[in-house]
Amino acid sequence: MNFLAHLYLSGDSDELRIGNFIADSVKGRDFGHYSEKVQHGIILHRAIDSYTDEHQVVRQSIERLRHKYKKYSGVMVDIFYDHFLARNWDEHHHQDLAFYVDEFYEMIGTRISELPERTQYMLPFMMRGNWLLNYQYYEGIERVLQGMSQRTKFDSRMEEGVADLKSMHREFEQDFNDFFPDLKSFVNTFIEKELWTEF
């Protein structure tokens, strides 16, 4: 899953959201200097990624793209799923998406010194382009994919991804709708029964 889904799945805890948000910039178990709940957020992020990677519906989505995008297919599916979460946000959360996103930016802006260097570098670009809000629009997804394509070492063709999202919109949306309830159920169980036993 991508940024918006990871934040949503962290619930209302700022500490969990911070950990979930920075997890891709934290290597191995080198996170002992963070607060316990931020560490929980990092562990939760990794559990979400592992569950997502193994889910049959997600693999089905990836297969729709693999012939063209190869190893980048999974990354693109993560972004496509954030698109459907953003488009249908009011079905999942009581707050308006714009308010939710602004609140997150305000919170994370006050904690920026705690973030890994890689996240500190990325955050201004995210805020300036308002990625989290703009995932709901094709134009927002296109900008994100173009930026990612420019940073890849190989010709990923990710900048062409919106055309595939449009042409297979119904199929990807059905995949998301089939998968996301399973993911939410997994996260609820993981938080209640497993996360706290990691320490």
Q: What is the pLDDT of residues 173-190, one digit of tens each?
A: 999 999 999 999 999 999
Q: What is the pLDDT of residues 20-46, one digit of tens each?
A: 999 999 988 888 889 999 999 999 999
Residue spans per domain, the chain: 56-192
Q: What is the pLDDT of residues 97-112, one digit of tens each?
A: 999 999 999 999 999 9
Closest CA to 132 of 165, 93, 167, 190: 93
State which amino acid sits at residue 7.
L
Residue 199's pLDDT is 42
Tell me how far apart the alpha carbons of residues 45 and 103 are, in angstroms, rounded to a whole number: 20
Q: What is the DSSP string of 126-182?
A: HHHHTHHHHTTSHHHHHHHHHHHHHH-SS---GGGHHHHHHHTHHHHHHHHHHHHHH
Tell me how far apart the alpha carbons of residues 61 and 63 are, in angstroms, rounded to a whole number: 5
Q: How confident is the model at residue 192 (pLDDT cuts 50, 70, 90)?
A: confident
End-to-end CA distance of the chain: 25
Q: Which residues contact 37 (CB under 8 A, 6 or more apart)?
A: 13, 15, 16, 19
Phi and psi at residue 69, to the nearest 5°: -110, -5
Mean pLDDT over each residue of the chain, to the nearest integer: 93
